[in-house]
């Protein structure tokens, strides 16, 4: 039997795309595929279609509040943008003949609330679409679903006939944007709010203060923003503008003022609040720093009372985030007055001292009508149950808080700044399937937030770090728990990513701009080949391998690369198909060969580009590795196709070369290496096929194709 016949039989590495979990969530006959994200609670697709043409009109039954009217107008403009149709302005007077009829039970709460009813129903026939919701926010959510349903074929544009009943699984579905480490202009915030609305997120967590910057105007204490921001801050008028912009889209704005640690920018202006005398300067590096407020001084609480009174008016949401994380207490340990205070009060350690501070701060926030929220570190004994715990430690820590009666929000697993692939975020659930929480305890878990910490993002790159991965997190927080199919998620995510461009996101288009800048305007084809198969290193290794400050330009090759390589994922699927699907061996073989040839040929072309552009010098070892990967893969594919086992020395040399290529360069790494290793091992062990069971072979290939363990950063 030839190797071509054996390999598909023995290497049973499946790449089939299934829709089983999604099918459980969708009731009744459904199309083969749909592109909805998030997946609704239930959807029944029928035969028939509603044409969308220049006669498309919208009617509203009942009161039309300004927010609803603005939402309708935005939806119509987006339809026009996709269809190139000029649609009628204003609302139709006759609901019986309108293409789309909206029924809202009322405008909802004046100030967006976590209790807001976002449910809706949508029924589309070949005659009319009817969208019903108890609130304007529910209508806005339903309009986003309608826009996602818009499709086309040779007959024109249409919406398929469907019956949808939908509501979110969790009431708190957020995106945290840190504007303190790297300031983000108003247009960045607005386009991301539009994107949040498109995928039904409903909380903008606005991280406004840090060691590296104080980003909000205070009229009570103007030195805060004057001395702590390098001139980059939001005026109070701009803050109100963001709050209004968000509310129009059914999104709450929860501000964060990090205390008592992460407080350098506070102390630049007011060193008298600190636990050490100062002077203080704005931090320019990333990391955890010592400056902290002095929790033993009454002047601190008087100051915070005035400040939070001012902010409470500016930010109407019920919740206010006080941070509370990563305070190591080193200044407290060295301050004799603080140590004496702790001894007098019977405060045993720094955790207890921070709890004392939090309790004092809680009373201030309650006075101004706010509910306190903070990171895991504030969850200490004797903390009042009214405080909301924001967990970066994981579902287990969140569950522990819920069992003790605390409401909580999960961000562990949703740290998008760590550059993990979408699939890793998608499988994280605020209430996992193995959770032991009772129904009453589970009700304390409000939802989750993706967190965009901004050490390494600029206005040009922040969209590519948030999107499209956050759309998958939005689905996890909205859709039924049973919606878990990774392949189908990625298929729909690709469609969603393109759709998000219509609200102004730059995550797709800016990559080419950044590459043209690096290549000085020359042909970027070879550079695009390289960046398509590399990813930034994960977690916090970027700064260790490529040290920068908050003033460094974020315009390098690493800034042009994406966190989740589509090309690497497609290549892996094709290699799996090559080794497991006998009827399609030739087709898969040709695809793999074409890709490997492109990598091999791009190497020399990249070398020429690098010679002309000093900004690309750090890419030289990556270009060499790309050429090596292409050459190695082609050699392995040749052996497999011919059924010839290479010499042992070939395997040893090629695997050693792959180990070298796996080492990050310029804080970038190749996620395609495991697939190339798989080809090398498949080629070099053909002679063992008859001695192994399929299960043994599959296990061996997986083990040997895995990248070597890292021994350090």
- Residue 84: what pLDDT? 97
Domain span at residue 698? 3-14+522-705
Residue-wise pLDDT for 35-58, tens only, equals 999 999 999 999 999 999 999 999
- Counting every residue written for the chain, the total comes to 713
Same structural domain for residues 145 and 200?
A: no
Tokens of 216: 């909000």
**pLDDT score, position 468:** 98
- Selected catalytic residue, list 103, 310, 326, 607: 326
Q: 368-406 b/e with 16+ CB inside 10 Å = b?
A: eebbbbbbbbbbbeebeeebbbbbbbbbebbbbbbeeeb
Q: What are phi and psi of 620, to 5 degrees?
A: -60, -50
Q: Tokens 């601190």 map to which residue?
A: 300
Domain co-membership, 178 together with 161: no
Helix, strand or coil, per DSSP, at residue 545: helix
573 and 643 share a domain?
yes
Of the residues 471, 503, 535, the one at which a domain ends:
503
| 427 shares a domain with 545 | no
Q: Percentage of the chain with pLDDT > 90?
A: 85
The answer as to whether 160 is a domain residue is yes
Task: Let me know whether 439 and 306 are in one domain.
Answer: yes
pLDDT tens for 168-189 read 999 999 999 999 999 999 999 9
In 3D, which of 282, 260, 476 has the Cα closest to residue 375?
260
Tens of pLDDT, residue by residue over 500-519, are: 999 999 999 999 999 999 99
pLDDT band, very low/low/confident/very high, at 703 (cuts 50, 70, 90)? low
Would you call 256 a catalytic residue per the annotation?
A: no
Other C-beta atoms within 10 Å of 534: how many?
26
pLDDT of residue 381: 85
Q: What is the pLDDT of residues 429-471, one digit of tens each?
A: 999 999 999 999 999 999 999 999 999 999 999 999 999 999 9
Instruction: Tell me whether residue 511 is in a domain.
Output: no
Q: Same domain, yes or no, for 461 and 332?
A: yes
Domain containing residue 365: CATH number: 3.20.20.80
Q: What is the pLDDT of residue 11?
A: 35
Q: Measured between alpha carbons, how far is 114 from 274 in angstroms, rounded to an integer? A: 35
Please tell me whether residues 314 and 279 are part of one structural domain.
yes
Indicate the pTM of the whole model: 0.93
Q: What is the rounded CA–CA span in Å between residue 470 and residue 669?
A: 22
Helix (H) or strand (E) holding 173: strand 172-178
Does 434 map to a domain?
A: yes
Which residue, 3, 142, 7, 41, is CA-closest to 483? 41
Q: Are residue 390 and residue 439 in the same domain, yes or no?
A: yes
Do residues 133 and 139 lie in contact, with contact meaning Cβ atoms separated by under 8 Å? Answer: yes
Residue 497's CB: how many other CB atoms inside 10 A? 18
Max mean pLDDT range (27-31, 662-666, 708-712): 662-666
Q: Residue 611 domain-assigned?
A: yes
Per-residue pLDDT tens over the stretch 216-272: 999 999 999 999 999 999 999 999 999 999 999 999 999 999 999 999 999 999 999
CB 398 within 8 A of CB 445: yes
Reply yes or no on whether the pLDDT at 24 is more than 60.
no
Note the pLDDT tens digit of each residue in 382-419: 889 999 999 999 999 999 999 999 999 999 999 999 99
Q: What are phi and psi of 130, to 5 degrees?
A: -125, 120
Q: What is the pLDDT of residue 32?
A: 60
Q: What residue ranges in 179-334 does DSSP mark as E strands?
A: 203-207, 209-210, 213-214, 252-259, 319-323
CATH number of the domain that residue 94 is part of: 3.30.379.10
pLDDT in tens, 572-592: 999 988 887 667 778 889 999
Say which residues have a Cβ less than 8 Å from residue 526's Cβ, sequence separation at least 6: 602, 605, 606, 609
Distance CA 5, CA 690 (A): 12
Q: For 261, which DSSP code?
A: S
pLDDT tens track for 290-318: 999 999 999 999 999 999 999 999 999 99
Structure tokens belonging to residue 434:
């193995």
Residue 178: C-alpha distances to residues 215, 319, 344, 591 (Å)? 10, 17, 38, 42
3-state secondary structure 445-467: EEEEEEEECCCCCCCCCHHHHHC
Which alpha helices (H) appear in 119-250, and where do they start and end? 136-149, 186-198, 223-228, 236-248
**CA dihedral defined by 355, 361, 362, 363, rounded to 10 degrees?**
120
Residue 10 structure tokens:
């023995």
Flag whether 115 is in a domain.
yes
- Which of 109, 133, 166 corresponds to the end of one domain? 166
Report the C-alpha gap between 246 and 251 in whole angstroms.
5
The DSSP-derived string for 215-231 is: -B--SSSTHHHHHHSTT
In a domain, 590, yes or no: yes
Secondary structure percentages of the chain, helix, strand, coil, to 5? 50, 15, 40
**What separation in angstroms does the CA of 464 have from each of 119, 315, 500, 674?**
30, 28, 12, 25
Scanning 500-619, the segments in alpha helix (DSSP H) are 510-518, 525-532, 541-545, 557-560, 566-580, 585-612
What pLDDT, on a 0 to 100 scale, did the predictor assign at position 9?
Answer: 30
Write down which residue in 127, 147, 166 finishes a domain: 166
- For residue 36, tell me if it sits in a domain: no
The mean pLDDT value of the chain amounts to 92
Which residues contact residue 347 at a Cβ distance below 8 angstroms, ignoring those fewer than 6 apart?
A: 341, 353, 356
Overall number of domains in the chain: 3
pLDDT confidence band for 16 (50 / 70 / 90)? very low
Quick one: DSSP state of residue 371?
Answer: E
List Cα–Cα distances, 599 to 324, 653, 657, 670, in angstroms: 48, 19, 16, 12
| pLDDT for res 585 | 79
Same domain, residue pair 347 and 456: yes
Give the confidence band of 12 by pLDDT, cuts at 50, 70, 90.
Answer: very low
Q: Is residue 161 part of a domain?
A: yes
Secondary structure (3-state) at 477: helix
Tell me which DSSP letter residue 203 carries. Answer: E
Q: Both 294 and 183 in a single domain? A: yes
CA–CA gap between residue 659 and residue 676 (Å, rounded): 11
- Interaxial angle between packed helices 236-248 and 298-314, expressed in degrees from 0 to 180 and rounded to the nearest 10: 50
- Same domain membership, residue 158 and residue 225: no
185 and 158 in one domain? no
Token pair for residue 591?
A: 């695809």
Least confident piece of the model among 123-127, 300-304, 306-310, 542-546? 542-546
Tell me which DSSP letter residue 100 carries: E
pLDDT over threshold 70, residue 691: no
């Amino acid at each position: 039997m030839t190797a071509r016949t054996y390999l598909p039989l023995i290497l049973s590495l499946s790449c089939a795309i299934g829709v089983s979990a999604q099918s459980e969530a969708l009731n009744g006959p459904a199309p083969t595929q749909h592109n909805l994200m998030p997946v609704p609670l239930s959807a029944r697709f029928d035969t028939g279609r509603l044409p969308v043409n220049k006669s498309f009109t919208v009617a509203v039954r009942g009161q039309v509040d300004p927010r609803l009217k603005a939402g309708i107008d935005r939806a119509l403009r987006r339809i026009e943008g996709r269809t190139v149709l000029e649609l009628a302005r204003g609302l139709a007077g006759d609901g019986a003949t309108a293409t789309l009829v909206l029924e809202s039970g009322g405008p909802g709460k004046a100030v967006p609330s976590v209790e807001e009813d976002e449910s809706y129903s949508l029924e589309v026939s070949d005659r009319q679409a009817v969208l019903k919701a108890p609130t304007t926010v529910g209508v806005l959510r339903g309009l986003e679903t309608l826009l996602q349903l818009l499709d086309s074929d040779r007959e024109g544009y249409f919406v398929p006939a469907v019956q949808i009943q939908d509501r979110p699984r969790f009431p708190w579905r957020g995106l945290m944007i840190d504007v303190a480490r790297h300031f983000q202009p108003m247009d960045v915030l607005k386009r991301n709010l539009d994107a949040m609305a498109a995928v039904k997120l409903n909380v903008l967590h606005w991280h406004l203060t840090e060691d590296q910057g104080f980003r909000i105007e205070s009229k009570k204490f103007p030195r805060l923003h004057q001395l702590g921001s390098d001139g980059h801050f939001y005026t109070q008028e701009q803050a109100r503008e963001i709050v209004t912009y968000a509310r129009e889209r059914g999104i709450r704005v929860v501000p964060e003022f990090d205390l008592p640690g992460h407080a350098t920018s506070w102390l630049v202006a007011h060193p008298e609040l600190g636990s050490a005398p100062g002077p203080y300067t704005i931090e320019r590096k990333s990391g955890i720093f010592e400056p902290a407020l002095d929790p033993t001084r009454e002047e601190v609480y008087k100051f915070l009372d005035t400040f939070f009174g001012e902010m409470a008016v500016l930010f109407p949401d019920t919740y206010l985030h006080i941070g509370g994380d990563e305070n190591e207490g080193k200044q407290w340990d060295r301050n004799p007055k603080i140590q004496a205070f702790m001894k007098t009060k019977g405060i045993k350690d720094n955790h207890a001292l921070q709890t004392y501070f939090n309790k004092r701060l809680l009373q201030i926030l309650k006075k101004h009508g706010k509910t306190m929220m903070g990171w895991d570190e504030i969850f200490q004994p004797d903390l009042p149950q009214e405080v909301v715990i924001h967990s970066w430690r994981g579902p287990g820590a969140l569950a522990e808080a819920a069992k003790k009666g605390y409401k909580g929000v999960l961000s562990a697993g949703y740290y998008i700044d760590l550059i993990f692939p979408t699939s890793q975020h998608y499988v994280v659930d605020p209430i996992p399937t193995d959770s032991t929480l009772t129904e009453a305890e589970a009700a304390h878990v409000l939802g989750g937030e993706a967190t965009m910490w901004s050490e390494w993002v600029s206005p040009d790159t922040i969209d590519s770090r948030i999107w499209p991965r956050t759309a998958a997190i939005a689905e996890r927080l909205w859709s039924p728990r049973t919606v878990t199919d990774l392949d189908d998620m990625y298929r729909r995510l690709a469609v969603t990513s393109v759709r998000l461009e219509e609200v102004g996101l730059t995550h797709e288009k800016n990559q080419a701009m950044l590459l043209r800048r690096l290549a000085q305007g020359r042909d970027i084809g070879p550079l695009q080949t390289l960046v398509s198969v590399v990813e930034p290193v994960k977690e916090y290794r970027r700064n260790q391998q490529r040290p920068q400050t908050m003033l460094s330009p974020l315009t390098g090759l690493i800034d042009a690369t994406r966190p989740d390589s589509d090309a690497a994922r497609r290549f892996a699927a094709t290699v799996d198909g090559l080794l497991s699907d006998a009827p399609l061996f030739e087709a898969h073989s040709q695809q793999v060969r074409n890709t490997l040839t492109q990598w091999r040929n791009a190497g020399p072309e990249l070398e020429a580009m690098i010679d002309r552009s000093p900004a690309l010098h750090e890419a030289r070892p990556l270009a060499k590795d790309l050429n090596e990967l292409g050459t190695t893969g082609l050699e392995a594919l040749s052996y497999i196709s011919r059924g010839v086992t290479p010499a042992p020395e070939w395997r040893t040399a090629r695997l050693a070369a792959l180990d070298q290529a796996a080492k990050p360069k310029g804080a970038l790494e190749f996620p395609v290496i495991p697939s190339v290793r798989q080809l090398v091992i498949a080629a070099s062990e053909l002679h063992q096929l008859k001695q192994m069971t399929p299960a043994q072979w599959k296990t061996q290939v997986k083990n040997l194709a895995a990248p070597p363990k890292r021994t350090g950063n």
